Chain A
């Protein structure tokens, strides 16, 4: 059955491209968790704000797409800083579960704010990119562009964390937050920078997603749960683990959706997550204790 194999291959390739975007989303959340030790439950809602920003800049105010993207990234980066200063900082020393819950409150807040401001209708950029044809296989350019950008961004972030002083300070804080103040690193400043980068990554994710999906106030719920699960599956704070987990998840969804219905792809991915939590609770790449 050659046709069968071809469609199967298409599902695998699409899964690979989807994995790139998921990996980027997971990266931002992992960075924030690794450094500040707080899970942003509202991460995907920040992304939703970014998607609306790009939409309004491009489709309503008719600015060039590049400007709209830059605005999207900046707005969400700023939102990340605001989230940290207004919401996370007051609960930094309270129980971890309260930190998780407080960002859940922000989730409701942002979702409802978007509903109030923009209504519940679906909006898209009205921009249709062609598909790349490889023999019988069609791959949308929007997905290829998204995956490539995600890879470039991840490489840049890696270089930033490895090669610059600020990046080294960020990594050091995530390893020992008690000692770093003694080494002349101001944790409060590092937290702000990290929140800005985490927000910026969510903003970049928003730019890539808005090319492929319609934006509406509840879009966060389609990407939020899956992003946390990827981070937890990879081991919260473990960026390489998150990267691997993103591709596994994307394949399960894409290939599972190919054989059955797309919801079953998600069900398979989530079941895989639960089972893996029992086998490797510390994350895919963790050494067994």
Chain B
């Protein structure tokens, strides 16, 4: 049994208590929640199912919970079940025909892109209920000075959120590993290389793809719920539409979509880059982080398509499998 990951995890769990203050803790929480979402996306992405529509699932999760809470007082615990269920329904409605009719590659990417935009437009169009482009804040349950409300899933203390996100992130990694070790992985790899050949050896192409898509969509919707409940503010542009969908794809690519911790590295990298530039250069320079980020992405895809962690782990593996150096006496 390897002990290093457990030691690292224990150190990570101590993070809120080393006295860094609220801002680093907030950053850590954001990195964890986005790592969760990115890992969910990569469940599909690593098999060539590049979805530009995950903004739709994120939006469905975040808005369903917030709307049900604000308008009907339904607790987020029930709301998240409904939100995830809705995301699953949408994933099946889009996924089934796509896979049945063999819509793959950039056609699939563009169909899902339309989905992301539809979600954003519907949220904006329902402005009387959803607050439109201005976004919406869940009604607070902490008005009486309580530090938490389990019923409303609202916690005033960031430490609580840190552990919630840490748990969810670990669960996502566990799901990733489960998929990685399952038969579905071999089926998906076969499909991503040659659909007809996979079908000819008995892989049910449509069902396997749909399973992965539904899993990924459900987890992304749940990520939307977490994000909305933590931020206590959702906005159609930050949880749906083409912008956030592309952000998900690119962060994962930057980190590396074929390794377990790749999406996490992607989240770490993109958030630290954005915050670093913001703190280093100043708040009033809008767009600098995206500017650097966009340029880096282009460079990444050209020179490092495996991503940061993908590239590193490739190098480690090569070093580990390199032949041992020749004994000294044979030299010269």
Q: A residues near B, CB below 8 A?
A: 39, 87, 90-91, 94-98, 100-102, 104-116, 119-120, 217, 221, 224-225, 228-229, 232, 236, 261, 263-264, 266-267, 270-271, 273-274, 277-278, 281
- Partner among A102, A107, A109, A273 whose Cβ is within 8 Å of the Cβ of B301: A102
Among B11-19, B69-77, B109-117, the stretch that binds chain A is B109-117
Enumerate the 4 nearest inter-chain pairs by beta-carbon distance, A residue then B residue, closest first: A115-B287, A109-B294, A108-B294, A105-B297
Given contact pairs A221-B243, A229-B113, enumerate 7 new A-B contacts (beta carbons under 8 Å): A107-B246, A108-B294, A115-B287, A116-B287, A224-B242, A266-B117, A274-B94
Contact A264:B125 (CB < 8 A) given known A112-B294, A270-B117: yes
Using Cβ atoms and an 8 Å threshold, which residues of chain A touch B291? 108-109, 112-113, 115-116
9 A-B pairs with CB atoms under 8 Å apart are A96-B106, A97-B106, A101-B250, A105-B301, A108-B297, A109-B297, A111-B294, A228-B113, A273-B114
- Given the complex, which residues of A lie within 8 Å of B297, measured CB to CB? 101-102, 104-105, 108-109
Supposing A115-B286, A221-B242 touch, asked if A107 and B294 sit within 8 A by C-beta, the answer is yes
Q: Which residues of B contact A270 (CB under 8 A)?
A: 114-115, 117-118, 121
Q: Which residues of A contact B243 (CB under 8 A)?
A: 221
Of the 9-residue stretches B32-40, B95-103, B139-147, B225-233, which lies at the interface with chain A? B95-103
Point out residues on B near A: beta carbons under 8 Å. 48, 50, 94, 97-98, 101-103, 105-107, 109-111, 113-115, 117-118, 121-122, 124-125, 241-243, 246, 249-250, 253, 285-291, 293-298, 300-302, 305
Q: Which residue of A lies closest to B253 (CB)?
A: A101
In contact, B118 and A98 (Cβ under 8 angstroms): no
Which residue of A98, A106, A267 contacts B122 across the interface (Cβ within 8 Å)? A267
Residues of chain A with a CB closer than 8 A to B105's CB: 96-97
Q: State in angstroms the CA–CA spacing of A95 and B289 once bound together.
A: 27
| B interface SS class | helix
Check A277 against B122 for contact (C-beta < 8 Å). no
Are B121 and A263 in touch, CB under 8 angstroms?
A: yes
Given contacts A104-B250, A106-B294, contact A271 B107 (CB under 8 A): no
Contacts of B121 in A (CB 8 A): 263-264, 266-267, 270
How distant is the Cα of A17 from the Cα of B110 in the complex, in angstroms? Answer: 26
Measured between alpha carbons, how far is A270 from B102 in the docked complex, in Å? 20
Residue of B nearest to A280 (CB): B101
With A and B bound together, what is the CA distance between A108 and B288 in angstroms?
A: 11
Chain A CB count within 10 A is highest, among B48, B109, B285, for: B109
The answer for the CA separation of A202 and B249 in the assembled complex, in Å, is 26
* Residue pair B117, A281 in contact (C-beta under 8 Å): no
Distance in angstroms between the alpha carbons of A205 and B205 in the assembled complex: 42
